[in-house]
Structure 1
Amino acid sequence: MRLRTVLATVTASLAAATCLSATGPANAVHANAGQSHACSPSVSIDRFSDALDKTTYEGTFVGNFSALAVDVPHSRLRSSGGTPTGSLAAVSDRSALFTLDRRTLAPRAVVPLADESGAALDSEGLVVDRDGTRLISSETEPSVRRYSRDGRILDRLPVPDALRVAPAGRAVSNGTFEGLTLLPGGRTLLASMEYALNGDSAGIVRFQTWQRTRTTGGHFELGAQYAYRADTGLGVPEVQATPDGRLLVLERGFTAGVGNTVRLYLADPRRATDTSGVEHLTGQDDVRLVEKTLLADIAACPSLGATAKQPQPNPLLDNIEGMAVTGYSPGRLKVLLVSDDNQNAVQTTRFYHLRVRI
């Protein structure tokens, strides 16, 4: 989602003067010697990179990133937690699907995305399926479509009427399918709404699932739905499944003159109530919400020398919107975050390399 910022009198030239200009791995900034990497007892930050900020590739602006995914057919996660070679997929909410080098983050390919009529999408969520096809959510309708590597539409998943943007449904504009993830085993797809539906209590967002079985011929059909309570004033821009079936959930908000709030939670939907038949979630009904545990407030991470182009509680922060699990060992994950710069002079395309204990 494109969070608005106050441009005021800040100019593009000032922004250019404050951003890091190096490219490639050399632009991955590490903590100074002796500086703690800890954000919390559960999360630490290895480094960040602004290498792609305000760059272009084959005539396409590199930025506006809303989601990341490991390109599984071309790189396998190592159980040792090491960093494999290969590719990442990254989707821009301005209708572009990028392939990035796994190590350097440099773009290697880009293809345009569109709907069935050729219109641009507000692409927000991304999953690379086991056959290499891309499942991409758009918050315009909302929708989830399956694309080939070269951007051809292969399929479109059903969406409950209530989750459609009003007046077709009860969802608010720019507040629908932001997060998308495939649970372990590859049979359950989950999308997170960013904000509550009209008629639901503020802060209670719905997680919609789809199931595929042998009887469906590999196609996804509507499954259970769960309710998750976001912190006051925050929405859910991204979810990612962990190897044990739980979820990493990003919560995010923005306050003009103050900056971004970004928190990382561990959530467990396995005992939550199926809310697909519950018309209105009041917060006082007999519904078991998705349980969540705070892993870290990203504002508490060391800044590592980062600079911000607008006020932030921590200069490391920006409009963080995408997340991928890039490696794991028992109880530990490597997690990559990316911010959506909205092609805005006072925002930065920034990648964050985290280590997370679950």
Structure 2
Amino acid sequence: MRLRTVLATATAGLAAATTLTAAGPANARPDSSAGHACSPTVSIDRFSDALDKTTYEGTFVGNLSALAVDLPHSRLRSSGGTPIGSLAALSDRSALFGLDERTLAPESVVPLADESGAALDSEGLVVDRDGTRLITGETEPSVRRYSRDGRILDRLPVPDALRVAPAGRAVSNGTFEGLTLLPGGRTLLASMEYALSGDSAGIVRFQTWNRTKGDRFELGRQYAYRTDTGLGVPEVQATPDGRLLVLERGFTAGVGNTVRLYLADPRRATDTSGVENLTGQDGVRLIRKTLLADIVNCPSLGATAKQPQPNPLLDNIEGMAITGYSKGRLKVLLVSDDNQNAAQTTRFYSLRVRTTVPNQ
């Protein structure tokens, strides 16, 4: 949840992920003769369950809620360049993993904590231009800056209204889920998962911060985004042209998950930082969105599910990173959060997304 120019490394990692040994469903690769289209603008290359129910250095590799491209020694380059670097994968159980970009194999794990040493409900991740990590905590909510070795370096201000009640108007487990840097690296954006008390159901707030001297961040504009009925926002990623990829997600017991990918444009939306209650009838210009794909319509590619799903490929998809781009086409990596639950799967999805769509 950071966009400078990014590199298509993680997709190559999925192609080689079959070298890993994993419990649970076998890795799958699509039949080259099968259709891969999820929609006119989105296709799926492959998926991997290679990390499902595995451990690394005594830490469970799961509960993954965010992904980021992490290139500690080189500048990021567009797709077509030589694959370099690694992936950062954030667990919502206070752990940050480094993954090999080719195999997805864990290479490192860093424990995270708050200022008192308590565990975090860590949900959103940005790898900043200096290699430090900006990570959201959903409990308060919070955005903290961490060093590579997990030391807290800074904490960003958060508007009072976005805090969990009774301190603010946010619902528990419904605050900062997505985090991303807009092009140029000057603006940080976090997405709330659900609406504030007093706002109309389905209208969630996106908060921004502006970078100041010394790489500090101060509060910036705020925007409103309307989700589909019954869905929340688990992740958001900036595209190279300043728009956003937005994941919307929901779950119905006995039916399974709903996961939709939208292209959204905040550039003409109203600044809602001074609007107390969002009703949808108040003249506020919401962030415009266009559906790119409902993941239920993707080919299953031989995937199996451990619980009822409308498509066995689906699971609790929560993390997203843009891993490559070229002329309006993106390579996007998704990951599902298995909640350390035997009925769910840690699954990576490699997508190709075309962002040259009408009305955007």
TM-score strictly above 0.5: yes
> What is the rounded CA distance, in whole Å, between the counterparts of 2:287 and 2:345 in structure 1?
32
- The residue that corresponds to 1:242 in the other structure is 239
- The residue that corresponds to 1:57 in the other structure is 56
Instruction: For residue 86 of structure 1, report the CA deviation from its aligned partner.
Output: 1.8
Matched residue type, 1:274:
D
Instruction: For residue 32 of structure 1, report the CA deviation from its aligned partner.
Output: 1.5
> What is the rounded CA distance, in whole Å, between the counterparts of 1:128 and 1:58 in structure 2?
23
- The residue that corresponds to 1:274 in the other structure is 271
> What is the rounded CA distance, in whole Å, between the counterparts of 2:66 and 2:44 in structure 1?
19
Residues 189, 342 of structure 1: CA spacing in aligned structure 2 closer, same or farther, 3 A cutoff?
same
Residues 54, 147 of structure 1: CA spacing in aligned structure 2 closer, same or farther, 3 A cutoff?
same
| Identity percentage of aligned residues | 87
Instruction: For residue 55 of structure 1, report the CA deviation from its aligned partner.
Output: 0.3
> What is the rounded CA distance, in whole Å, between the counterparts of 1:218 and 1:98 in structure 2?
24
- The residue that corresponds to 2:138 in the other structure is 139
> What is the rounded CA distance, in whole Å, between the counterparts of 2:120 and 2:309 in structure 1?
30
Task: Confirm or deny: 8 A CA contact 1:77 1:84 kept in the other structure.
Answer: no
- The residue that corresponds to 2:311 in the other structure is 314
Instruction: For residue 82 of structure 1, report the CA deviation from its aligned partner.
Output: 5.4
* Root-mean-square deviation over aligned CA pairs: 1.5
Instruction: For residue 85 of structure 1, report the CA deviation from its aligned partner.
Output: 2.6
- The residue that corresponds to 2:358 in the other structure is none
Instruction: For residue 24 of structure 1, report the CA deviation from its aligned partner.
Output: 2.5
Any idea what SS the aligned residue of 2:296 has?
Answer: helix
Any idea what SS the aligned residue of 1:137 has?
Answer: strand
- The residue that corresponds to 2:328 in the other structure is 331
Task: Confirm or deny: 8 A CA contact 1:195 1:205 kept in the other structure.
Answer: yes
Task: Confirm or deny: 8 A CA contact 1:25 1:104 kept in the other structure.
Answer: no
> What is the rounded CA distance, in whole Å, between the counterparts of 2:263 and 2:32 in structure 1?
30
Task: Confirm or deny: 8 A CA contact 1:339 1:350 kept in the other structure.
Answer: yes
Cα-to-partner distance string for 1:263-321 (whole Å, 9 max, x where unaligned): 00000000000000000000100100000000000010000000000000100000000
* Structure 1: tracts of 5 or more residues without a match: 1-20
* Structure 2: tracts of 5 or more residues without a match: 1-16, 356-360
Cα-to-partner distance string for 1:126-183 (whole Å, 9 max, x where unaligned): 0000000000001000000000010000000000000000000000000000000001
- The residue that corresponds to 1:5 in the other structure is none
- The residue that corresponds to 1:43 in the other structure is 42
Cα-to-partner distance string for 1:19-62 (whole Å, 9 max, x where unaligned): xx965299652212321010001000000000000000000000
Task: Confirm or deny: 8 A CA contact 2:260 2:295 kept in the other structure.
Answer: yes
> What is the rounded CA distance, in whole Å, between the counterparts of 2:323 and 2:73 in structure 1?
13
- The residue that corresponds to 1:232 in the other structure is 229
> What is the rounded CA distance, in whole Å, between the counterparts of 1:97 and 1:33 in structure 2?
34
- The residue that corresponds to 1:185 in the other structure is 184
- The residue that corresponds to 1:295 in the other structure is 292
Any idea what SS the aligned residue of 1:249 has?
Answer: strand
Instruction: For residue 213 of structure 1, report the CA deviation from its aligned partner.
Output: 3.0
> What is the rounded CA distance, in whole Å, between the counterparts of 1:268 and 1:72 in structure 2?
27
Instruction: For residue 66 of structure 1, report the CA deviation from its aligned partner.
Output: 0.3
Instruction: For residue 212 of structure 1, report the CA deviation from its aligned partner.
Output: 1.1
Residues 1-358 of structure 1: matches in 2 within 5 Å? 23-24=19-20, 28-74=27-73, 76-81=75-80, 84-214=83-213, 217-358=214-355
Task: Confirm or deny: 8 A CA contact 1:83 1:327 kept in the other structure.
Answer: no
Residues 195, 121 of structure 1: CA spacing in aligned structure 2 closer, same or farther, 3 A cutoff?
same
> What is the rounded CA distance, in whole Å, between the counterparts of 2:82 and 2:177 in structure 1?
27
> What is the rounded CA distance, in whole Å, between the counterparts of 2:297 and 2:74 in structure 1?
32
Any idea what SS the aligned residue of 1:299 has?
Answer: helix
Instruction: For residue 75 of structure 1, report the CA deviation from its aligned partner.
Output: 5.1
Any idea what SS the aligned residue of 1:73 has?
Answer: coil
Q: What TM-score results when the alignment is normalised by the length of structure 2?
A: 0.91
